[in-house]
Structure formats: structure tokens, C-alpha cells
Amino acid sequence: SFELTQPPSVSVSPGQTARITCSGDKLGDRNVCWYQQKAGQPPVLIIYQNTKRPSGIPERVSGSNSGNTATLTISGAQAMDEAEYYCQAWDSSTTNYVFGTGTKVTVL
Amino acid sequence: EVQLVESGGGFVQRGGSLRLSCAASGFSFSSYPMTWVRQAPGKGLEWVASITDGASVVSYADSVRGRFTISRDHKNSLYLQMNSLRADDTAVYYCARVRAVASYFDYWGQGTLVTVSS
């Protein structure tokens, strides 16, 4: 079955760049999106169609997708970026939506 | 403003049933596919079920197929009928709006907690 794998955790210093990877078979051939989830809150869409940002999401948040890996990049990390991040794609063979395993980002 | 408000969660015994509802407002509900996603305590997100805008096609995760039924009305409500509940169905259940062309969920509700006792 189609699976998406993320590192469990990423640490970044304030002002530095955090990169979160999402790996899956031929992921570059699919549309990938990313969600941010803070404790006790529902997920929020921050990247869709690999690289696009919904309104209200700052430009320092960006996405890319190629080969077997999609990457979420957060530039100039701030304390407000501390959250869990999930990638997600659609598996056309099963018509199922698939979430990544999630990555906890810590800014310290 | 798009709003999704879930209700119907609660405490239920193993083997029991529960029906979740999601009230949508601020957009043309009948024009969008919808979905349910759940999150067990301390765990990641798990897609549960989806339904097309016209309700003609439904999809389920293997973990709930045959026990859960997703449906919608013609006004503004999405439903999830959950039968034969198990302890591992304990989770916060979110409804979300689907943008099918690029396969993402752009608006989410606050969620409703379902607790299945063993």
C-alpha cells in the first residue's frame, strides 16, 4: 500500500531554516499538500499542489516535490512555527487519501 | 466565512453505534466533496471516509469499511454513521472540505471526540 514517511522530529534554531521531508513511491508524480497542527487545534492547510500557499500563509513557508520526496521548508523559523506537520497525497490506485506519519518541529 | 461544526461525539461501549454530524456554512455545500479524518489520542492523522459532491461515490479506509457509512444531505450536513465500534476507534473526528482536483482538504472543523470503552 502507498505510504508516506516523515522524520519524527526536526529541531531548528530561531531564524534558521527547517526542512521537513515526506517520502513515498514516485511521490513526485502526485500532488502533495502540507498541514500544520498545533496542540489542541485542528490541522491547517499551509501548502497545496506541492508549492502553493493558501492566503494568509507567509512566504517563508514553501514546498517542493520531486522524485520520491516532497519537502516543506520554513525559513526564518519562529517560536510560532512549533507544531506537528503532516504531508498528504491521494493514492489513485485505491482512491484513498494518505497522510504522512507526522513531524514535530521544535524551535530552540 | 467557511465554517464546519461537528457534533455527536461522546462515550460509547464497545460494539455500540454513534452518528456524527458536520454542519457546513459559508459556502455552497452541494458543490464540494467532503471527508472525515480522525486522530487517536497522541497519534497522527488518519483519513476515514470521503463522499463526492453528488454523493454518488464514497470511499473508506480499510480500518472502517463495512462498519462506518458516510452520507450527506442536500442542504448543509455531512454524516458519519459508526457501527460495531472498537476501542481503536477512539479519536477526535474532524470533517473537512475536499478540493478534489488537487486532492487536499482546505477547511477543517474543530473536531468531536469519540471514546469507545473496552
Strands B91-99 and B112-117: antiparallel
Q: What stretch of H or E contains B113?
A: strand B112-117
Question: Poorest-confidence range of A11-20, B65-74, B100-109?
Answer: B100-109
Digit-coded pLDDT (tens) for A30-61 = 999 999 999 999 999 999 999 999 999 999 99
Residue of B nearest to A104 (CA): B44
B3 touches chain A (CB under 8 A): no
**Cα–chain center distance at A107:** 16
C-alpha grid cell, residue B32: 464540494
C-alpha grid cell, residue B107: 477547511
Q: Which has the closest alpha carbon to A3: A20, A21, A22, A24?
A: A24
Residue of A nearest to B36 (CA): A97
Q: What is the DSSP letter of B26?
A: S
pLDDT at position A5, please? Answer: 98
Q: Which residues contact A52 (CB under 8 A, 6 or more apart)?
A: A63
pLDDT at position A100, please? Answer: 98
Rounded Cα–Cα distance for residues A49 and B104 (Å): 8
B59 touches chain A (CB under 8 A): yes
pLDDT at position A41, please? Answer: 98
Pick A101's closest partner by Cβ from B44, B105, B110.
B44
Q: Which has the closest alpha carbon to B112: B10, B3, B23?
A: B10
pLDDT at position B118, please? Answer: 82
Inter-chain CB proximity A42 and B110 less than 8 Å:
yes
Average pLDDT over every residue of A93-101 = 94
Amino acid at A93: S
C-alpha grid cell, residue A33: 499538500
Best B104, B107, B112, B113 member to test A by mutation, with max A CBs in 10 Å, is B104
Pick A95's closest partner by Cβ from B44, B46, B59.
B59
Rounded Cα–Cα distance for residues A9 and A15 (Å): 18
Residue of B nearest to A6 (CA): B44
Residue of A nearest to B97 (CA): A45
Map residue B77 onto helix, strand or coil. Answer: strand
